[in-house]
Amino acid sequence: MEDEKSKQNSLSKEILSWIIDIGIVLVIVWIITSFIAQKTNVIGQSMEPTLHHGDHVIIDKISYRVKEPDRFDIIVFPFQQNPEQNYIKRIIGLPGEEININDGCVYIDGEPLEEIKELELIANQGSQTYPLLVPKGQYFVMGDNRNNSKDSRFIDVGTIPKSDIVGKALLRIWPLKDFGVVN
């Protein structure tokens, strides 16, 4: 009888140990995905040639808590019309800058934007009125595929408040052949 009770105690302790271990793992996963990093999938062609439809990207959710976003950072933010859908775009204009689009090129404070890669000329300025002053605490974003991107050029996307930025694209993890830092 005591042998039976001893086995039940041992089994109960083992189950409790498993429950505690699983609980700890779940709390750690929750902390990481809520405050440090998360995975997102790229949907669409708006960031080509940098990111492609179906790419899986790890987002750094912590760096913008200690520093301001920089020009050319690739960020993730919720689309205002459908907050459950995230957009991934590149920061072009910083708070307080004047953005203009003329002859297919972006101008910041009257100077042509020196792109980090060669991109096609912009065929559609969008629905914004230019020149556009980027409000304090907000960012003007565009997709790298300038002629196939719904971005800050369009009023329904607009400039992105820093508080809406989920994080910065950090690492492409899929497909494996393209594994590496997103820049």
Q: Dig out the tokens for 27 from the structure.
A: 């709390």
Please report which residue ranges of 67-122 form alpha helices under DSSP H: none
Gap between the Cα atoms of 172 and 41, Å rounded: 10
b/e 80-115 (16+ beta carbons within 10 angstroms → b): eeeeeebbbbbbbbbbebebbbeeeebbbeeeebee
Q: Find residue 58's DSSP bridge partners.
A: 39, 171
Strand, helix or coil at 178? helix
Q: Dig out the tokens for 161 from the structure.
A: 């408040």
Phi, psi of 131 (to 5 degrees): -70, 150
Active site residues: 46, 89
Q: How far is CA 33 from CA 5, 71, 130, 183, in A?
A: 42, 25, 38, 22
